[in-house]
């Protein structure tokens, strides 16, 4: 048995997204079917990003297990001969048996393209959103700057698909214009359901002059989907790449006007220990931050996490369950140690 990782590119126009559904054909369905035929055994792929109907990809990631003796790096060539023209495997390789594309730290990059002119260009109609109203790119950049960093993006998540934890980190948000084509390029730790499309729709409202750039910060603060802009059409969105960490970051710093913390991870590999220092945090965000960052440390390999609340005593309660975790007083660290329930 070996596990094979694939880089998958596709034109999403004719598909109902990545994940298998009852209402139409999907990328996952096609890959499962053709891999099963090729390798002569039942194959089920696991995708890193479950893109929506009509969304494109230049670099999604998927893995599957197989008993077949075909070399992993040759599977892409054999599979491409069977796939329709709008799906291609750019690379295939063998990975560790426990490798999971959704459980690895990575940077996801998306692009949203807007054709901004008076009359639509037919050759771009499937890969960009057409907007005839002139957009002010500088205003869009100013508004987009408020989204960079670690924030609660609840306002930018479709309610019916809302995750329990809505905090994400955007590392960069760049907006470029070449001729009539505007490209919004976003890099982040992960994205909520429809998050990039709602960001694009909101920034277009800023570019039109409907919202002032500073209103983007007000939308973030509201944590209410109703106050953000519309969800932009799927066809303008492409998943560009997923860049996985090759080594664990020694330190993670999260800071905005609601909270500030440091997660020290330099002893995770050698001692399975991590330290969380909460410098400040609003009361209403404290418990969520505690659970979220401790869970991140556990996912990264920590078995013991020491926590210190530097702002206020009494916010961590002895013996109380915080998600999957219980906190115990730790005299050595003058804080708290965490154990899983």
287-293 long-range contacts (CB < 8 A, ≥24 apart) are: 287/322, 288/165, 288/167, 289/167, 289/254, 289/259, 289/261, 290/316, 290/322, 291/322, 291/323, 291/325, 292/165, 292/167, 293/252, 293/254, 293/261, 293/263
Average pLDDT over residues 188-202: 96
pTM listed for this prediction = 0.93
Statement: residue 115 has pLDDT above 80: yes
pLDDT at residue 252, rounded to an integer:
96
Is position 10 annotated in a ligand binding site?
Answer: no
DSSP-based three-state secondary structure for 101: coil
Q: Which residues contact 333 (CB under 8 A, 6 or more apart)?
A: 275, 306, 308
Statement: residue 322 has pLDDT above 60: yes
pLDDT at residue 326, rounded to an integer:
82
pLDDT band at 324 (very low <50, low <70, confident <90, very high): confident
Average pLDDT over residues 307-325: 87
Mean per-residue pLDDT of the chain: 94
Query: Of the given ranges (27-41, 138-152, 297-311), which has the lowest mean pLDDT?
Result: 297-311
Catalytic residues: 52
């Amino acid at each position: 048995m070996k596990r094979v990782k694939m880089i998958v590119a596709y034109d999403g126009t004719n598909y109902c997204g990545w994940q298998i559904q009852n209402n139409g054909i999907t990328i996952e369905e096609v890959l499962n079917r053709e891999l099963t035929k090729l390798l002569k055994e039942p194959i089920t792929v696991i995708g890193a990003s479950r893109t929506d109907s009509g969304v494109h990809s230049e670099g999604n990631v998927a893995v599957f297990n197989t008993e077949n003796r075909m070399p992993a790096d040759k599977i892409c060539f054999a599979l491409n001969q069977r796939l329709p023209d709008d799906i291609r495997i750019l690379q295939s390789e063998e990975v560790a048996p426990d490798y999971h594309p959704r459980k690895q730290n990575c940077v996801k990059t998306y692009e949203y393209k807007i054709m901004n002119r008076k009359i639509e260009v037919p050759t771009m109609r499937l890969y960009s959103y057409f907007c005839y109203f002139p957009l002010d790119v500088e205003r869009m950049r100013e508004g987009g700057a408020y989204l960079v960093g670690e924030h609660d993006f609840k306002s930018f998540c479709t309610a019916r698909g809302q995750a329990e934890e809505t905090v994400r980190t955007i590392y960069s948000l760049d907006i470029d214009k070449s001729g009539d084509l505007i490209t919004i390029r976003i890099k982040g730790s992960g994205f909520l359901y429809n998050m990039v499309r709602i960001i694009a729709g909101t920034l277009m409202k800023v570019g039109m002059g409907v919202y002032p750039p500073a209103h983007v910060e007000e939308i973030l603060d509201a944590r209410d989907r109703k106050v953000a802009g519309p969800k932009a059409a799927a066809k303008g969105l492409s998943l560009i790449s997923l860049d996985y960490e090759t080594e664990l970051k020694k330190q993670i710093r999260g800071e905005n006007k609601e909270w500030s913390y440091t997660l020290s991870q330099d002893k995770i590999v050698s001692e399975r220990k991590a330290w969380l220092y909460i410098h400040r945090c609003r009361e209403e965000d404290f418990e969520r931050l505690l659970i979220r960052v401790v869970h991140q440390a556990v996912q990264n390999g920590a078995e013991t996490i020491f926590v210190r609340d530097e702002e206020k005593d009494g916010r961590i309660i002895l013996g109380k369950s915080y998600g999957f975790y219980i906190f115990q007083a730790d005299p050595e660290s003058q804080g708290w140690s965490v154990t899983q329930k």
